Amino acid sequence: MMGSSFFTPLSWNDSGFILTGVLNTVYISLVAIIIGTLLGLAVGFIRAEANKFTNTLLGGVLDILRSVPLIIQLILFSTYIGAIGYPLDPFVTGTIILSLYTMAFMSEVFRGGFESVQQSMITAGRSLGMSYWQTVAHVRLPIGLRAVFPSWLGVALSVIKDSALVSVIGYMELLRTSEQLISRTQQPLEILIGVGIFYFIVSYPLSLYGKYVERKMAT
């Protein structure tokens, strides 16, 4: 039973399995980027507007999320939530933690964006009769978001790469599917190079685009 036939080489039949991993990586990254961006926008805005006390409090929580390695947060949360009797699907656990982690970084990006909009620009909006929220929607948000787009893209890219860590709690993303393939085929070199190429193909054009936008905004 444990003979040489247990190890079978990589074949085209594995492509469906690999594709599942690819799609799951894209899926969990996208969900985390979207949720993290929305939450980050709200938290970043609150931080730009809030008083010192609220800011210190919020800042502390965000510092923890940013400073504790993602892999530890994933293992801690999935173990704890299981131990208190609410075992969650790896996708849900991964999404929650990855989104919060993303939010922690995004909130700083957006806070910087909101704070980059000069007070005089806001006053100009108010003097035209705009309400507080109208200046937020039509002045601060569009101007602030433009200013931080390259930084936002940078965070989003690192989320795609960090999503590989969700494999440790059992989510079938690209790294975990490739680990399973490696244990069956014993071809780690080919498989890991292939996975690396995938991340490169996704990340590199986006980071080039970010640099392009940055250059364009500088002129």
Partner 1 sequence: MIQIQNVHKSFGSLEVLKGIDLDVQKGEVVSVIGGSGSGKSTLLYCINAIEDIQQGRIVVDEIDVHAKGTNQDKLRQKLGMVFQQWNSFPHLTVLENASLAPRIVSKLSRKEAVEIAKKELNHVGLGDKFDEYPTRMSGGQQQRLAIARALAMKPDYMLFDEVTSALDPELVGEVLDTLRMLRDDGMTMICVTHEIAFAREVSNKVAFFHQGVIEEMGPPEQVIANPQKEATKKFLSKVLH
Residue number with CB closer to partner 1 (82 or 142) = 142
Minimum distance, C-beta of residue 195 to partner 1, in the bound complex (Å): 40
Cα separations (Å) of 19 from 26, 55, 189? 10, 43, 19
CB proximity list for 99: less than 8 A, separation 6 or greater: 31, 32, 35, 36, 39
Minimum distance, C-beta of residue 117 to partner 1, in the bound complex (Å): 10
Angle at which helix 15-49 crosses helix 141-162, to 10 degrees, equals 140
Spell out the long-range contacts of 122-127 with Cβ–Cβ below 8 A and sequence spacing 24 or more: none
Residues that contact partner 1, how many (by CB under 8 A):
18
Token duo for residue 54: 């609220």
Tell me, what DSSP letter sits at residue 163?
G
Minimum distance, C-beta of residue 48 to partner 1, in the bound complex (Å): 18
Residues between 111 and 150 that touch partner 1 (CB under 8 A)? 118, 120-121, 123-131, 134, 138-139, 142-143, 146
Residue number with CB closer to partner 1 (126 or 161) = 126
Residues between 146 and 205 that touch partner 1 (CB under 8 A)? 146
Residue ranges in contact with partner 1 by CB under 8 A:
118, 120-121, 123-131, 134, 138-139, 142-143, 146
